[in-house]
Chain A
Amino acid sequence: AQSVSQHNHHVILSEAASLELGCNYSYGGTVNLFWYVQYPGQHLQLLLKYFSGDPLVKGIKGFEAEFIKSKFSFNLRKPSVQWSDTAEYFCAVNSGGGADGLTFGKGTHLIIQP
């Protein structure tokens, strides 16, 4: 079974600060990796995804993530955050070759102070 660990449950930053949210997964085989964002009162939206190829993935709104296979990690980054980035961020994984649903981490609540 897969599991996903997000290291930071709550992060508070000032506008223009750089962001890195950690995500580690446990699964022995090929994986697909995702970051979703949930703005207050809204549904989950896909930020970016990794299936294969270039391990540095660029998503919407200036976010990017790097897949490091040796570390089982898929950390989310943004060089300069904005107040509108305040939201809950979820890392998720499913098996690349199999047939299963997404397994989510517990989420990181990000607050950006103006």
Chain B
Amino acid sequence: DAGVIQSPRHEVTEMGQEVTLRCKPISGHNSLFWYRQTMMRGLELLIYFNNNVPIDDSGMPEDRFSAKMPNASFSTLKIQPSEPRDSAVYFCASSLKVNTEAFFGQGTRLTVV
């Protein structure tokens, strides 16, 4: 199994630009999570999906953030417009069920200048 695959691994963009982060969960996993990791705030759960349906997006910081899961094998996290304070490592994770162990991708390091 290839594990959770995220792209790109690194993204540098200018303030105001749209950023799209991509995630392919492990095949057969029903739940998908987006986390953000920063030095100040640690790991924060942004949103999670169960069977492609968004269940809890209370962690999404602002309306500039949106996430979709059009099918069981693909999800996107979009930031529009991006701001320097969005700079962080964004992790995608998947699990067989919501309340079981999560398997993490390698992360996308986003830098907004």
Contacts from A to B (Cβ < 8 Å): 32, 34, 36, 42-46, 49, 90, 94-107
Contacts and interface: CB of A to CB of B under 8 A. Distances in A.
Interface size grouping (class) on chain B? 20 to 34
Contacts of B104: 36, 43-45
Given A32-B99, A43-B107, A101 B43 contact: no
A102 B102 contact: yes
B101 A98 contact: no
A19 B100 CA distance: 26
B18 interface: no
Contacts of A90: 43
B93 to A, nearest CB: 8
Nearest to A45: B104
A105 B42 contact: yes
Contacts of B112: none
A99 B45 contact: no
Contacts of A94: 98-99
Contacts of A100: 48, 56, 98-99
A101 B48 contact: yes
B43 A104 contact: yes
Nearest to B44: A104
A36 B33 CA distance: 16
Given A46-B101, A101-B102, 17 more contacts: A32-B99, A43-B91, A43-B105, A43-B107, A44-B91, A49-B101, A98-B99, A99-B98, A100-B48, A100-B56, A100-B99, A101-B48, A101-B56, A101-B98, A102-B93, A103-B45, A106-B42
19 contacts: A34-B101, A36-B104, A43-B91, A43-B104, A43-B106, A43-B107, A44-B104, A45-B104, A49-B101, A94-B99, A97-B99, A99-B98, A100-B98, A101-B33, A101-B56, A101-B98, A102-B33, A104-B35, A105-B42
Contacts of B107: 43
